[in-house]
Homo-oligomer: A and B are copies of this chain.
Amino acid sequence: MKYIQSDKNPQVKQWKKLLTRKERDKSGTYLVEGFHLVEEALVMKEDVEEIILSEKTEMPPGWDYGSIPVTVVTDEISRQLADTETTQGIFAVCSQPKQSITSGKTYLLIDSVQDPGNLGTMIRTADAAGLDAVIVGKGSVDIYNPKVLRSAQGSHFHLPVLSGDLTEWIDKLVAENIPVYGTALENGAVFTEAAAAESFALLVGNEGSGVNKELLAKTTQNLYIPIYGNSESLNVAVAAGILLYYLKTAK
């Protein structure tokens, strides 16, 4: 095990850069933090490049990390790498998987969602609902943002989560006869009118402005969730949950 004491060390500097989207995009890697997420990452060992451990943190007994290099750092460096206020002092550098989907039947498409908690919660919900993939369009928060990873609670390691061009994806899915359901506050059908289908894609959008109109124009059908009370709308992650579970369990 290597031991690094100085935060001037080039490797430490490189890890810290992974807190920015720019460097994550450039390097094709990202940082996960905390026992739960590192443990989930280790299930996909080929994607874990290295483990970083605070000198105050013990590697949990029984973890099989094979030949993955482990570096021990000072508590101070550990805190510099952390996105949380009280870090557990364990991190993994992971490579961003090159994923391609050829035989998916159920998708969540996400357009311009800004809040990392919302994006992460939707990835977690898509995982729970057993979807085949999540496709995140341009204008959304980075899928490897630390808060997205935390809110998703490990679901990044359970199903493909891809950045992609939603226009192309909708064309492709419609061509494959997979119904694509947009979500809109108006000019749609009540969601409970959607026909049951083994395959579907659900398209949700920005917290304030909803799904881009050009994308909505390309969908098979647009759905809305009725508001029975006085709130103006639902939180996007709650709306995605209601619709995904409806589409999965509709008869």
Contacts and interface: CB of A to CB of B under 8 A. Distances in A.
B129 A228 contact: yes
Nearest to A155: B231
Interface string A112-141: 000001000100111111110000000000
Contacts of A215: none
Contacts of A131: 229
Contact of A242 (B127, B229, B231, B241): B241
B229 A159 contact: yes
A238 B204 CA distance: 15
Contact of A238 (B192, B238, B249): B238
A239 B238 CA distance: 8
Interface string A237-249: 1111110011011
Contact of A248 (B128, B228, B231): B228
A128 B233 contact: yes
Contacts of A240: 238
B235 A127 contact: no
A228 B130 contact: yes
Interface in A59-85: none
Contacts of A248: 228
Nearest to A125: B238
Interface string A205-230: 00000000000000000000101111
Nearest to A248: B228
A58 interface: no
A153 interface: yes
Given A127-B229, A234-B241, A238-B240, 14 more contacts: A117-B117, A124-B231, A126-B229, A128-B228, A128-B233, A129-B229, A130-B229, A153-B232, A158-B230, A159-B229, A159-B230, A192-B249, A235-B237, A238-B238
7 contacts: A121-B235, A131-B229, A158-B229, A159-B230, A234-B241, A237-B237, A241-B241
The 8 nearest A-B residue pairs measured at CB: A130-B228, A238-B241, A158-B230, A127-B231, A127-B229, A130-B229, A128-B231, A242-B245
